[in-house]
Each structure stands twice: as C-alpha cells, then as structure tokens.
Structure 1
Amino acid sequence: MKQVERKQGLVERAGFRMLGWQIFVHSVRMVFGNLKQVLQITFGPALIATVLIVLLFMASGIPLEFFETDANGLPPGITAGGVLLFIFGLFAVVLITMFWIAVSWHRFILLEEYPRGIFPAFRFDRILAYLGRAILLGLLMGIAWIPAGFILAGLVQSSPVLAIILMVAYAIFLFVCFYRLSIILPAAAIGQPITLGEAWNSTAGAAGAILALIVVAFLFQLLVQLVFTALAIIPVLGILLSVFFGVLVLPMVSVSLFTTMYGVFIEKRELA
C-alpha cells in the first residue's frame, strides 16, 4: 500500500512539473498565435509613449547628452528639481504604457476583448488597480528580503560560499512566491479581484510546477537574447529581429505566463 502511495506521489510531482512546461508552451503559443492582436495592443500605446517622451524632453529643455555617462553637471538653465520632475514624468509614462498593454492583453485573452485599430481601450481604473497590486507585490518581496539580507550580510565574512548558496536559494524561493501571488494581476485587469490569500491557496501544491515554469522561462529568454544579440551584427534585418523579440515578444510572453496561470489556477481552464 505504501509503495502504491509513493508511486502516486511521484506521478503527481511529475505531473506538476509537466504543468509548468505546459503553462510555458501555452503562453508562447498565445503570443505567436495572436501576433495581429499583439501588434494592435502594443503599437498604439508605444506610439503615444514615444510622443509623450519627446514632448517631455522638449518641455524640460534637457538634452539627450545629459544622460551620457561622461556628462558633467547640469545643463545651463536646468535645476535639480527640473531633472527630478522630468524623471518622474518619464517613469510615469513608461509605467502607464506597460500596464496599459498588460491590462489589454489580459482582457483580450481572458475576456476575448478584441482590440480595435491600433489603440486598445484605455481602462484607467483597471490600470490603477494593476499598478496598486504590482506595488503591493514589490513591497511584499522587498520586506521578505530584509531579514534574509541581515542574515546573509553576517555570513559573508565567515562563509562567503555558504552565503552565496543561501542567497540564491532564497531568491528562488521568493521568485516562486511572487509567481504564486502574481495571479492577482490579471484578476485586477479583468475586474474580478482576488486577495493574496486566495491567490496563495489556489496555487497550493503547485510550487514545483511554478519552479519548473520559472526555469524554462528564464532559459527561453536567455536563449532568445543570445541568438538575437548575435544576429544584431546583420545590417537592418538582425536589428529588426532583435528589437521585435527583445522589446515585443519576450515581454508579452512574460505577461502571458500570468494570464495562463490565472486561467489554470482560478478559472480551472484546461490547457490544450
């Protein structure tokens, strides 16, 4: 009887590891199977963001050369307050654009809300909800790292190798926790919010699958970046491919991972 239970446990663990792979494959398939919608959802917001950033540069009077590593001091007529205001505006534009795209993608996949033209619906309430939950996750991960940071700082002097091993192990643990809780993001995007406790409970027992998902996603992004960094030496085509995959495809795959996880763990969808 115990041998049968042990075999069943092994099968279940193997199944969860396969679930991580299935979530990754499904997420990649969603992106490449809906490239028209990917372009519709990303092009318009990116265009608006580009225009706003150019206007920010023009309004602030800050030249591009100011951000070069060898730039010395502030440009004439530019104050430190003006630079901080410009950086805040730049950060806000980039952040809102990213979340506009993410919210639109979640809603397209989960609610079949198709974009029209090159500008997806701008749902400011959902973007704010998404932002709030992203900040919450960031704060939780930061707070969780504080005690480990003190412990590791004490170990560095006596046993640096052990400190590095523990740091990597704890970082992996936090990544798994982040992914388990990340389904609150697509939930906020579609207007059906869930609590952190609900997200945690819904992914109970899936830590192995999520760890496998993180590893596969990391290796995929690393491989793609290496390949297209090498291809960047090819005039025009190499650069276009690098931009297409680095700026468009890879971020959308990352967003799709959260979308698929929400569908699997909350809506109980079957993966094809």
Structure 2
Amino acid sequence: MSLQILLHSYRMIADNLSDVIRITFVPWLAILALLFASNNVRFGTMFPEPMDITNLSDETTEAFLITLAILIVTLCVYLWVIVGWHRFILLGEGPNRFFPNWHGDQNIAYFLSSLMIFLTMIIPMLIFGAIVASIGISGGYTVFFIMSFLFSLFIWFIGTRISLVLPAAAIGTPMKISESWEATEGENMTIFKLALMLSAITAIVGLLVKAIAFNIVGILLAQLLNGLLGLYSVSIITTLYGVLIEKREL
C-alpha cells in the first residue's frame, strides 16, 4: 500500500496544478518578498543569521524584532497554505482566485498540534541524534551519511505515526496523538516503507538544493523544490488520514 499512497499523493498535486498554484503561489511570493526585503538572505538559504541576544544595541534590537516579526508572518503563511491544502483534499474546499481561504481557528489548532508533535518527539530525537552524531563523526563521511539517513528514517516513521492529528486539526475534527498512534498501529510496515522512501527523497532533494543554491535563481529553485517536497509530505499525511480514519479507497 505504501507505493499506492506515494503515487496517489503525487497525483493529488499533478492533477490539481491550477489549485496548487492558487493555494501556494501568492503566499510563497509574499514570503519571498518579505525575506528579500529584510536584507537577511544568507548564501544558500532564506533564513537570517542567528543573533547574539546577550549584547543587543538599539540597532540589533530593531533587527531582532524585525526578524522575529518576519518569522511569525512566515509561520502564519505556512499554516494558511498547509491548512488550505488539507481542506482542499479532504473537504473539496477550493481556494479563492489567488489564495486559500483563511481559517483562523484551524490554523491555531494546527500550530498547537504541530507543537505537541514536536514536544512528543524532542527527547527521542535528542537521544537518537546524539547517537548518530557520536558514531557518524568518528566513522567518517560515509558512516555519517548512513547514520544521518537512519536518523531521517526514524523521524519520518515516528512522525508519520502521530501526524494524523494535523489533517484532523485542519478540518476541525480534533484528534489526540495517542489516537493517531492507535490508528496507525496495524500499518507499521506500510509506514516504515513510506518513511524509507521519504527519507531517500528528502536526501536527494537536499543534495539538489545544495547543488543549485549558489545564486538568486538557484535560491529560488531551491525554495521551490523544498516547497514541493513539503506539499508532497502533507499530501501523504492527508492520504493516510483519508484511508485510516475516513476509510476512503485509494
């Protein structure tokens, strides 16, 4: 079933390109404009450099507040787009002419559900990450790459099992993390295969991003690739929710 889910999730995007553009394009442009306007675009990434907040002058305080505001706006836009995509797939709720509908309550619920997933996974991530780092660094680049892949596999597997709370929050039918875990209990092998393939896809996209993000055009293409990967991941979670919770056929 894992391959069917991957193909179905791909078709969600490929067969609805006009809706994908209407849901994502204007918000994506808004984020890019904000990031470029901040003059904090780093080489190969779109996020500002970390700041030392222990010794802030008036100028650095202002820069910090601007950066914080940009991050908050960016988060809101991402929530807006992701919730809109979930609702389009599960409820058939189409976007407006140029952007998705705004659902404030569902956006907040989605953020809180994402936060709960993060808090649930943070300790296992730190433990497994420390093991990966200690073994990988001492073993050379090849071992480090393999261990990093295993870490990605671990994150995808656990994250996918508890991620059904996200589409549930997006459509206004709250679900507990324990309920998501129970709903995916009988699909461990399917989810493991999904995690394996997603880890491979993520690694390939990561290599492509590093290879092309050396100028402004490359940075834009890198952001597009990352955005498509994110939308594809959301589609997979939504498909799982539809199959396991709503009992839909693929």
Q: TM-score range by the shorter chain?
A: 0.7 to 0.9
- The residue aligned with 2:19 is 37
Scaled by the length of structure 1, the TM-score of the pair is: 0.71
Q: Distance in 2 between matches of 1:43 and 1:168?
A: 31
User: Are residues 1:207 and 2:195 paired?
Assistant: no
Identity of aligned residues (%): 32
Q: How does 1:234-249 map to 2 (within 5 A)?
A: 242=221, 245-249=224-228
CA contact under 8 A between 1:232 and 1:239: conserved in structure 2?
A: yes
Amino acid in the other structure paired with 2:61: G
2:219 pairs with 1:264: no
Q: Distance in 1 between matches of 2:10 and 2:178?
A: 28
Partner of 2:157: 176
User: d(CA) in 1 for partners of 2:189 and 2:72?
Assistant: 36
CA deviations over 1:82-104 (Å, ceiling 9, x no partner)? 22212211111111111111000
Taking a change above 3 Å as real, the CA distance of residues 174 and 250 of structure 1, as seen in their structure-2 partners, is closer
Alpha-carbon distance in structure 2 between the residues aligned to 1:256 and 1:239: 25
| 1:181–1:196 contact (8 Å) kept in structure 2 | yes
- The residue correspondences of 1:45-124 to structure 2 (distance < 5 A) are 45-53=27-35, 57=38, 63-64=39-40, 78-124=58-104
How far apart, in 2, do the equivalents of 1:113 and 1:191 lie?
A: 13
RMSD (Å), alpha carbons:
3.9
What is the CA-CA distance between 1:181 and the residue it aligns to? 0.5
TM-aligned CA deviation for residue 267 of structure 1: 0.7
Q: Which runs of 5+ in 1 are unaligned?
A: 1-18, 58-62
Structure 1 residues 49 and 265: CA distance shift in structure 2, 3 A: same
- Larger RCO, structures 1/2 (Cα 8 Å, 6+ apart): 1
State the distance in 2 between where 1:138 and 1:209 align.
23
Normalised TM-score (structure 2) = 0.77
CA distance in 2, matches of 1:218, 1:240: 22
- The structure 2 residue matched to 1:190, chosen from 161, 171, 177, is 171
Aligned residues of 1:23 and 1:257 also touching (Cα < 8 A): yes
Give the 3 Å change call, closer, same or farther, for CA 64–193 of structure 1 in structure 2.
closer
What 5-or-longer segments of structure 2 have no aligned partner?
Answer: none
Report the more deviating stretch, 221-230 or 25-34.
Answer: 221-230
Distance apart, 1:52 and its partner CA: 4.8
1:168–1:52 distance in 2 versus 1, CA, 3 Å: closer
Distance 1:48 1:40 in 2: 13
Tell me the alpha carbon deviations over residues 105-147 of structure 1, each in whole angstroms, 9 at most, x when there is no partner.
Answer: 0000000001120021111111111111111111111122345
Give the CA deviation at 1:184: 0.4
Task: Please tell me the residue identity of whatever aligns with 1:96.
Answer: C
Render the CA deviation track for 1:25-80: whole Å, top value 9, x for unaligned: 1101100010000000012222343455567x3xxxxx448x679x9x99xx8533
Contact 1:31/1:249 (<8 A) preserved: no
Instruction: Specify the structure having the higher radius of gyration (Cα).
Output: 1
CA distance in 2, matches of 1:81, 1:126: 33
